[in-house]
Amino acid sequence: MLKFIAPSSLFFISFQSVALVPPDYKEPANDFTAEVEAGLQLNMGNTESSSFNGRTQLIFDTKQTKQEAVLKAYFASEKNQTTSEKYELQLQSNYKLDRGYIFGRGDFTWDQFGSYTKISIFSIGYGFDALNSYRTKLSLEVGPGYRYNLPTESLAESNPEAEKDVILRTAAKVSQKLQEYTSINADLTAEVGDKNNTLTLDMNYKNLVFQDWAFKIGVNIKYTEEVPEDSKHTDTITTFNLLYTFR
């Protein structure tokens, strides 16, 4: 009797396992992804300087909406004296339509040594995917917005007034997969207003090194048409970072 019960019990347990976990079972899709990257540079000898940059991106993408937050930080010092300190926060919420999406966006910048120490931009508009294949993705956005710029202090203007302007924001975001583990991404954004115009190119090359680890080279170029006295029109930031993706 025992010899009959033992095989029967094993068969019953195996049958229960198959019933609980069907052969075509798949893990539910994860709507949340995150990226964390950082880079550090140290120079010693004739020049003693150090620099650090970091970036965190959070994305929550569902069938009807997409929420995205990006935080960037840049810091540099030379001979124990801070020469650069900049923080950027970008927030965007998309509501998906049958064709395209409606978005609301906020861009905030705090720059200790920039031509503008505080920049706040709010915009709304419409976007759509012009291309959406495995290798190539291109999305376009357009909409009105409001911009607040606080210029840095200068010899000519020790207490500058903030610039407030209604703008038109247009953006193009492209992602090109070169190979299975390498890709190029570029965001081109133009903000046109009565008082000032800006053009920003954020471009990077990403190469997957091991599983969720990747090496990333980035270039951020921003051109501002009207800048305070003794300030340059173009700001360029180049980064060499190690990136990790949470899925």
Write out pLDDT tens, residues 191-202. Answer: 999 999 999 999
Average pLDDT over residues 104-133: 95
More confident site: 17 or 121: 121
Which CATH superfamily does the domain covering 29-246 fall into?
A: monomeric porin ompg (2.40.160.40)
**Please, are residues 91 and 105 in contact by the beta-carbon 8 Å criterion?**
yes
| Per-residue DSSP letter, 212 | T
Q: Which residues contact 246 (CB under 8 A, 6 or more apart)?
A: 33, 34, 35, 36, 212
pLDDT digits (tens, 9 = 90+) for 8-33: 444 444 444 444 445 444 445 578 99
> Has residue 234 got a pLDDT over 50?
yes
Segments making up each domain of the chain, as ranges:
29-246
pLDDT digits (tens, 9 = 90+) for 29-55: 578 999 999 998 666 565 567 899 999
* Alpha helices, DSSP H, located in the chain: 2-20
Give 115: exposed, middle or buried? Use CB within 10 Å, 0-12, 13-18, 19+.
buried
Cα separation, 242 vs 246, in Å, equals: 14
Cα–Cα nearest to 221, from 240, 206, 239, 234: 234
| Per-residue DSSP letter, 229 | T
> Has residue 161 got a pLDDT over 70?
yes
Mean pLDDT of the chain: 86
Cα separation, 237 vs 131, in Å, equals: 29
